[in-house]
Chains A and B, each alone.
Chain A
Amino acid sequence: MRARWRRTSDGKAAEDRFRAADADPARLVARHSRQPRRQIETAKHGLLLIYPDVSFADRISAIQDYAAIGDCRSVGLVSRQGSLDWLCWPRMDSGSIFAAIVDRFRGGHWSITPQGDFRSEQHYIPGSNVLQTLFASSGGRATLTDLMPVCGEDFKQTAVVPDRHLLRELQCTDGEMIFQMEFWPRPDYARRRVSMRSAGALGVRIDLGRGVGWLRSSAPLRVEADGATGQIRLRRGESLQCSLTYSEEAPAVLPPLGAGAHAAIDRSVQWWRGWLTGSQYRGPYRNEVERSLLALKLLAFAPSGAIAAAATTSLPERLHDSLNWDYRFCWLRDASLTVRALLGLGYVDEVESFVSWLLHSTRLTQPKLRVLYDLHGRMAPRETILEHLEGYRGSRPVRLGNSARDQFQLDTYGEVVEAAAQFAEHQGHLDRTAQKALIGFGRYVAKHWNQPDRGMWESRSGGKNHTHSRLMCWTALDRLLQLEKKGLIRGAPVHEFLLQRERIRHQIEERAWNPSLRSYAKTLDGEKVDANLLRIPWHGFERADSARMQATGRRILERLGAGEGLLFRYKREPEEGAFGACGFWAVEYLAMGGGTLEEAHALFRDQLRFASPVGLLSEEVDPETGDALGNIPQAFTHVGLISAALTLDEQERRRTERQKESRASGFGESAA
């Protein structure tokens, strides 16, 4: 029973691929060498910090070489070298415990890494967010399994489970290997002093400020005041288990290792797989869609229903530059695509939670909407800079909070109304409070749509008349009118909405269309294009095969194409990475009539090539190197993938139906 998931074909295939790489040097994924050495430094802010290992500094992985684990409340990132370099507890927007990804020396990490030369590869146990890192060296092979255990409510009625729990199991599968474990927690982005002490049979107690952590290991560790290390020699069949638990408000729970840990792994795999069985997608991109769905579930904050934009802060959009943002909040901008993705795959409960969160969290500011909210629906924190952190590969600054919280963006109204409308149409009803809120948004849009705003890309250089914002205002009023027509909302000022909707349309058609550019422009009367204009057909403003959209699509692909199917969101000097979601929007545009379905499929496959080895997507891609840029995993990119896959599927079905009808009518005619 315990080994059920180990025998799955995909897991076996990954193991086989990994073994095959030994025989083919060209396929070696990575070689690493370590020379353990430690230095002590007094940091500027007065704390005595230990540089864990200088060689570690050279091994901060590329962004795409991190895989995410989580429990629908918090997310950790594990590198291909087996190092947990990012973990914020108890929530994904809490202070960090490990943050080596944004400061290789000060940030703190928990690594379990082979000594000497080795190579490694990662994959998820199929259908789950349980991660496996396969190590191989000249002496042997081993598998490191990382997860935050999850379980159903039924199990929680029968057993006491920790508030937060991270489990690591290292199993030697062949030969003999020596591993070095380094456990250097640095709470609150290394701003808080850590204190550790051995508590005998209970494990190692870690005072993390507001909360307490307990580290337990099946192998003896050398415990110091601020960290623990260990050298573990494993022979074939032997294993090491470690667990880290955290508690902030109640006595901690210390789950036992051994059989209990194995059971927790199996239970977690089964839980993820059980959740995934709800997916109704049966198209050709099932693996990619399911991985995106699982990534999205990692970013969902179960207690409130919010979905974070990403799990990290300040992974750079441009290396060695300052385009580093904190994305651990919920952006209303992502709402309609998120609902479209989840609803399209059949996850009605998740959509209900998310839409409820949208309407509930915005209640205090209605009818005004903020750009983003924290995971509990409160105002996101002010933006601050962590001066003492060096940033990912020197990309400073590292930011906490996000200044976009104070921006004025009109597109959010369209996104929220569109999201609620999709859900209402699916459910066939909308409660009175929600109706009132949506009508309030509509009234606000009808009054303010003609104002300049920061736009969906949150420009920090002042407001402009963004075409996309106008489009979303049109969408808000259009959806409300449709809901009213279907009897799903009552009491909307229909005449006012109709009048303003037509005024917006008129303005877009007159002033956003640039005849000399032969394209819709990024701003009214503007000269530049923006990839978000590819969303025009999706929102139903204009057909993708219209002359204007055909010309706009051509111009966008020509001016913003970054090569190999990638798209910049807009032109910027110096250039940033290609924007992941925009590539998927182009796929949808082509599939909806902007091109052929074959072109859309080809472009979709191009986008998939830039997923990480475990299938995760970040915000952007470096067109030169193909490396991931920006925060990871990024919900907006993953919902873009799912939405594009759904659109391809829908368009394929429509084409099949058309062909059937055409054959039927042809047959009828010939028979006649």
Chain B
Amino acid sequence: MNWGSWLLWGFLATIALTTLSAGAQGAGLTRMSFPDVLGLAVTPSRDKAKVYGFLLHFVLGLIYSLIYVGVFESLHMANWWVGALIGLAHALFVLIVVMKLLPSVHPRMASEHYGPTAKRVLEPPGVLALHYGVQTPLAVTVSHVAFGVILGAFYHLR
């Protein structure tokens, strides 16, 4: 494992992922914001949630990149298309599994079955996060594939 390369490209890939997600949100393609959703899990203050969420998202990005790098090392190959494939799998996992589980684990997210309560008021993402806009699956997929492409293309195997 090349720790220096992981740290550098994991960091830059996370920057790219965050920028693409925020860009898609700003362009009105999606209302999905991982930093907002993560941050609101730890504080109800929207302003603080943005900051905490951004930091959490960053840490998670580095952790995920560790998994990508682990796959590269086990395959003994790291290139853009392998990265893209892992990114695609990652995006599908997020859209299909994480989004489904989110209302159950997020302390401020409303349940589709029971509706909102005094504490749980956030709109749940729905299937493939489509509640956050019909282009959300596309935005999530593109940003995660870009994350994988950067890691795959630039990570140096040990």
Which chain B residues in 4-38 approach chain A with CB under 8 Å? 25-26, 28, 31-33, 36-37
Q: How far is the CB of A256 from chain B (nearest CB, A)?
A: 5
Q: Any chain A CB within 8 A of the CB of B132?
A: yes
In the docked arrangement, what's the CA distance between A251 and B48, Å?
A: 16
- Given A247-B31, A251-B37, answer yes or no on A160-B121 (Cβ-Cβ < 8 Å): yes
Tell me which of A157, A159, A202, A250 has the highest count of chain B C-beta atoms within 10 A of its own C-beta. Answer: A250
Residue of B whose beta carbon sits closest to that of A162: B121
In the docked arrangement, what's the CA distance between A248 and B28, Å?
A: 8
Q: Is the CB of B45 within 8 A of A253?
A: no
Q: Is the CB of A201 within 8 A of B114?
A: yes
Q: Is the CB of A256 within 8 A of B37?
A: no
Stretch from B61-69, B77-85, B88-96, B105-113 contacting the other chain: B105-113
In the docked arrangement, what's the CA distance between A252 and B125, Å?
A: 10
- Given A201-B112, A201-B113, answer yes or no on A160-B46 (Cβ-Cβ < 8 Å): yes
Q: Any chain A CB within 8 A of the CB of B40?
A: yes
Q: Any chain B CB within 8 A of the CB of A210?
A: yes
Residue of B whose beta carbon sits closest to that of A199: B112
Q: Is the CB of A253 within 8 A of B122?
A: yes
Q: Is the CB of B116 within 8 A of A160?
A: no
Q: How far is the CB of B116 from chain A (nearest CB, A)?
A: 4
Q: Is the CB of A251 within 8 A of B122?
A: yes
Chain B interface residue count, Cβ-Cβ cutoff 8 angstroms: 31
Q: Any chain A CB within 8 A of the CB of B131?
A: yes
Q: Any chain A CB within 8 A of the CB of B118?
A: yes
Q: Is the CB of A254 within 8 A of B121?
A: yes
Q: Is the CB of A210 within 8 A of B28?
A: yes
Q: Is the CB of A202 within 8 A of B31?
A: no
Q: Is the CB of B31 within 8 A of A203?
A: no
Residues of B within 8 A of A250 (CB): 25, 31, 33, 36
Tell me which of B110, B117, B121, B124 has the highest count of chain A C-beta atoms within 10 A of its own C-beta. Answer: B121
Q: Any chain B CB within 8 A of the CB of A200?
A: yes
Q: How far is the CB of A181 from chain B (nearest CB, A)?
A: 19
Residue of B whose beta carbon sits closest to that of A205: B131
Q: Is the CB of A160 within 8 A of B108?
A: yes
Residues of B within 8 A of A25 (CB): none
Interface string of A512-539 (1 = CB under 8 A from B): 0000000000000000000000000000
Q: Is the CB of A256 within 8 A of B46?
A: no
Q: How far is the CB of A363 from chain B (nearest CB, A)?
A: 24
Q: Any chain B CB within 8 A of the CB of A573?
A: no
In the docked arrangement, what's the CA distance between A251 and B33, Å?
A: 8
Q: Any chain A CB within 8 A of the CB of B44?
A: yes
Residues of A within 8 A of B25 (CB): 249-250
Q: Is the CB of A160 within 8 A of B115?
A: no
Q: Any chain A CB within 8 A of the CB of B73?
A: no
Residues of A within 8 A of B31 (CB): 212, 247-252
- Given A212-B31, A248-B28, A251-B32, answer yes or no on A157-B44 (Cβ-Cβ < 8 Å): yes
Which chain A residues in 201-258 approach chain B with CB under 8 Å? 201-203, 205, 210, 212, 214, 247-256
- Given A202-B124, A248-B28, answer yes or no on A160-B40 (Cβ-Cβ < 8 Å): yes
Q: Any chain B CB within 8 A of the CB of A284?
A: no
Q: How far is the CB of A655 from chain B (nearest CB, A)?
A: 51
Q: How far is the CB of B21 from chain A (nearest CB, A)?
A: 12
- Given A253-B122, A254-B121, answer yes or no on A200-B112 (Cβ-Cβ < 8 Å): yes
Residue of A whose beta carbon sits closest to that of B134: A207
Residues of A within 8 A of B121 (CB): 160, 253-256
Q: Any chain B CB within 8 A of the CB of A156?
A: yes
Residue of B whose beta carbon sits closest to that of A209: B28
Residue of A whose beta carbon sits closest to that of B28: A210
Residues of A within 8 A of B46 (CB): 156, 160-161
Q: How far is the CB of A195 from chain B (nearest CB, A)?
A: 10
Residue of B whose beta carbon sits closest to that of A200: B112
- Given A249-B25, A249-B31, A250-B33, answer yes or no on A255-B108 (Cβ-Cβ < 8 Å): no
Q: Of B37, B118, B123, which is within 8 A of A252 by CB?
A: B123
Q: Any chain B CB within 8 A of the CB of A365?
A: no
Sample (26) of A-B pairs whose CB atoms are under 8 Å apart: A156-B46, A157-B45, A157-B48, A200-B112, A201-B113, A201-B114, A202-B115, A202-B116, A212-B131, A212-B133, A214-B123, A247-B31, A249-B31, A249-B33, A250-B25, A251-B36, A251-B37, A251-B123, A252-B31, A252-B123, A254-B110, A254-B116, A255-B116, A255-B121, A256-B117, A256-B118
Task: Please name 5 further chain A to chain B contacts, defined as beta carbons within 8 Å, in addition to the given A248-B31, A249-B33, A253-B123, sorted by A numbering.
Answer: A159-B44, A199-B112, A202-B116, A249-B26, A251-B33
User: Which B residues fall within an 8 A CB radius of A?
Assistant: 25-26, 28, 31-33, 36-37, 40, 44-46, 48, 108, 110-118, 121-125, 131-133
User: Which A residues fall within an 8 A CB radius of B?
Assistant: 156-161, 199-203, 205, 210, 212, 214, 247-256, 259-260
